[in-house]
């Protein structure tokens, strides 16, 4: 769509107009929920991924982040997305759950039992 608009505006086509945007396209589709391991994606998910990734790119440009650092961040987003999609989420979060359970035990073991109240009656 943008190619048609750009070609109409400049009255010429550029064969290298999309060079370097492959990483952006892959990342946007993955953010939209499509798996790299042969999964199926939806058009709505891909559209949302494009919007999110476009906003991220715009924010990075507005904050004057260098192009090389932007590529590193985009690569990290792809790696994190692949890890979240392809590994069992429970497997990823298991160490976190273990830490929380251990911490709860430490907290409850450190607390003293509530003091017993006496009613003042002799038994």
> Domain segments of the chain: what residues?
20-109
The verdict on pTM exceeding 0.75 is no
Question: What sign does the CA torsion over 38, 51, 58, 2 have?
Answer: positive
| pLDDT per position as a tens digit, 40-55 | 778 898 898 889 888 9
Are 31 and 52 within 8 A, CB to CB?
A: yes
Kindly give the confidence (pLDDT) of every residue in the chain, 123 residues in length, as a single tens digit, with 9 standing for 90 and above: 666 676 677 777 777 777 778 888 888 888 888 877 777 778 898 898 889 888 988 999 999 999 899 889 888 888 887 777 766 656 666 676 777 777 777 777 776 545 555 555 554
């Amino acid at each position: 769509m943008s190619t048609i608009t750009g070609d109409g505006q400049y009255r010429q086509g550029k064969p290298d107009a999309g060079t370097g945007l492959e990483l952006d396209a892959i990342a946007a589709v993955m953010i939209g929920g499509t798996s790299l391991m042969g999964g199926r994606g939806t058009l709505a998910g891909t559209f949302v991924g494009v919007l999110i990734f476009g906003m991220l790119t715009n924010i990075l440009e507005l904050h004057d982040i260098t192009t090389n650092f932007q590529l590193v961040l985009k690569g990290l987003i792809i790696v994190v997305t692949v890890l979240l999609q392809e590994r069992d989420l429970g497997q990823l979060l298991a160490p976190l759950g273990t830490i929380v359970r251990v911490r709860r035990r430490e907290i409850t073991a450190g607390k003293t039992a509530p003091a017993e109240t006496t009613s003042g009656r002799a038994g």
